[in-house]
Amino acid sequence: MIDMNQPDIKFAIEAVRQSCALAQQVQAGMKVEGLAKGDLSPVTVADFAVQALIGKGFQEHLSGATLVGEESSEMLQTGDGAETLARVREFIAPFAEGASNTAVCDWIDQGTGEPGDRYWTLDPIDGTKGYLRGEQYAIALGLVENGEVQFGILGCPNLGEGCAPDMGAGIVAVAQRGNGAYYSSAGKDFQPLHASPQTDPTQARIMRSVESGHTNVGEIDYIAEKLGVIAEPVRLDSQAKYAVLAAGGAEMLLRLMSPKYPNYKECIWDQAAGSIVLEEAGGRITDLKGNALDFSHGRKLLQNTGVFASNGHLHDVSLEAIQAVCNLPE
């Protein structure tokens, strides 16, 4: 059982809960306008505001810790970013005393640390396009030690009761290595998470993304055919998928190599928190070759090829199908 009153864990839970409320207020208070980063993925006011809020919390409660976040304030400190910075400051002010332009940028840049032997990693809004659509997204915070995730927390403001893959009042999921995975809906007591007991691959519900830019949709179809899958897929974006898997709402998730990005490597913040939530619920996660995810090589999973997550029972047979269908690099 996780000690939810342990100071670091208590801080992380409260920080993510506040961040969920902040993200919802941004959504309700403005028509979210995306900016473009270098990789053309959208960046919203909520991305920056959430990272600023959590960065401020690290300064106050975990001042010696390293935080590796997805964002930096660089683009906000140019002429084009001035309006976005003003909106970030406007929305974070009720949550964070002293929210000047300089302070907000400093809080955001608290998350520009470099991964080492021990660090936290943050995705302030995972599933930005889902957020823009008003659908599923997640706030993901994980603690990594010696290349292995030790603690993770997912805030999923729109998931249904029991981590159901539909629109609801939201959940927070927490996991600690060796101490299980738990979720709380609407601030209620934490309940244990358990992955699906399904052992029949034909009944495997495959989680399919609404956004498919970083996977290979055709190869997923071929893998499903090879396994004889007849169950309907479950569609949603972001690390909210891991909460659904951990709660038994589906059996597998694949991140294959997109033909557009054959050399793509996963970012650490896209997998850290979700991976331990699934593992501690009894599931399993590896890369497409069956190797454990290695978080010891900087900001990306440089030693891994894609990602495959399952309920555990279907992992080995599915890896065989993946390797038979996919032309994986050596």
Structural domain ending residue among the three candidates 192, 216, 250: 192
Q: What is the CATH number of the domain that holds 74?
A: 3.30.540.10
- Domain end, chosen from 158, 192, 226, is at 192
- Please indicate, yes or no, whether residues 244 and 307 belong to a single structural domain of this protein: yes
> Is the model's pLDDT at 14 over the cut of 60?
yes
Does 330 fall in a domain?
A: no
Residues 30 and 171 in one domain: yes
pLDDT of residue 27: 87
Residue 106 and residue 253 in one domain: no
**Catalytic member of 128, 215, 286, 305:** 128
Average pLDDT over residues 172-193: 96
Query: What residue numbers bound the domain in which 292 lies?
Result: 201-325
Residue 17 sits in the same domain as residue 142: yes
CA-to-CA dists, residue 58 to 26, 35, 68, 100, 233, angstroms: 22, 26, 11, 18, 39
Is 1 inside any structural domain? Answer: no
171 and 210, same structural domain? Answer: no
User: If pLDDT is split at 50, 70 and 90, which confidence band does 216 have?
Assistant: low
Domain boundary among 141, 163, 192: 192
Is 207 found in the same domain as 187?
no
Co-location of 209 and 297 in the same domain: yes
Could you say which of 47, 123, 270, 287 is catalytic? 47
Helices (H), the chain: 7-29, 45-61, 82-92, 101-109, 128-133, 217-227, 240-246, 272-280, 315-325
What is the β-pairing status of strands 148-156 and 159-160?
Answer: unpaired
- Of residues 271 and 42, the one with the higher pLDDT is 271
pLDDT for residue 47 is more than 90: yes
Residue type for position 41: S
- Mutual angle of helices 45-61 and 82-92, in 10-degree steps: 60
208 assigned to some structural domain: yes
Instruction: Please check whether residues 126 and 173 belong to one and the same domain.
Output: yes
- Higher-confidence residue: 111 or 327? 111
Residues 156 and 266 reside in one and the same domain: no
Percent of the residues in the chain that have a pLDDT greater than 70, as a whole number: 94
Residues 75 and 216 in one domain: no
Say if CB 44 and CB 38 are below 8 A apart.
no
Residue with tokens 């409320």: 21
Q: What is the mean pLDDT of the chain?
A: 93
E strand or H helix at 239, and its extent? none
Mean of pLDDT values over 139-156: 98
Give 22's pLDDT tier (boundaries 50, 70, 90). Answer: very high
Check if 270 is active-site.
no
Q: In the predicted model, is pLDDT for residue 41 greater than 60?
A: no
Is the domain of 45 the same as that of 114?
A: yes
CATH of the domain at 206: 3.40.190.80
pLDDT of residue 133: 86
Asked if 137 and 266 sit in the same domain, the reply is no
pLDDT at position 288 = 97
Q: What angle do CA 295, 299, 302 make, to 5 degrees?
A: 60
Number of structural domains in the chain: 2
278-284 mean pLDDT: 98
Q: Catalytic: 128?
A: yes
Whether 2 is in a domain gets the answer: no
Tally of residues, the chain: 330
Q: What contacts 249, CB < 8 A, 6 or more positions away? A: 163, 164, 165, 196, 205, 234
Residue 267 has pLDDT above 50, yes or no: yes
